[in-house]
Amino acid sequence: MAEDAKAEESGGGGSSKKLLILIILAVAVLGAGGGAAWFMLGSGEEEAHATDKTHEKESGAEHMEEPGPIVELEPFVLNLADRDELRYLKISIKLELDRPEEQTDYPAKVPAIRDALLVLLSSKESHLLRTTNGKRRVRDEILSRANGVMHKGKVSKVFFTDFVIQ
């Protein structure tokens, strides 16, 4: 009986070792297969995206718009709407037009654009203009006001080249 117990222990131990080795091998094979599949499929996706981007660049180069002409408004120096203190804003603005200046009514509309921007900017308080988001909002409002004045051609972008609050 003691011999049977020893035989079972030695035989059972060997079979459990074999089972453990088989499980480890199965996990390794499945992991290697999964990793290989992920690598192969992942590389294919990246190549597809790279190919798509190449096609986009090629077609984008054909349809990429040239920047329009940039015109500069005379600098503005104005009082801000702060109630506590007297604050000034000095701002220089450049506008990018969507087509050549000769094909727009920009030259005739400069006084009206300046008037619209003076009214807009003088209604702002300094604490609103100090933040990046405040400057972005004002840039969008300037674009909207300038395009509201122009009938032939549009302003596509607004650039601040000088922005001082004192």
pLDDT tens profile 101-157? 999 999 999 999 999 999 999 999 999 999 999 999 999 999 999 999 999 999 999
Q: Token digits for 1?
A: 């009986």
Per-residue pLDDT band at 57 (split at 50, 70, 90): low
- Please state the rounded mean pLDDT for residues 47-52: 51
What mean pLDDT comes out for the span 34-58?
A: 57
Residue 46's DSSP bridge partners are: none
Percent of the chain surpassing pLDDT 70: 73
* pLDDT band, very low/low/confident/very high, at 18 (cuts 50, 70, 90): confident
Whether residue 48 is predicted with pLDDT greater than 80 in this model: the reply is no
Is the pTM for the entire model greater than 0.85? Answer: no
Rounded CA separation 89/79 (Å): 6
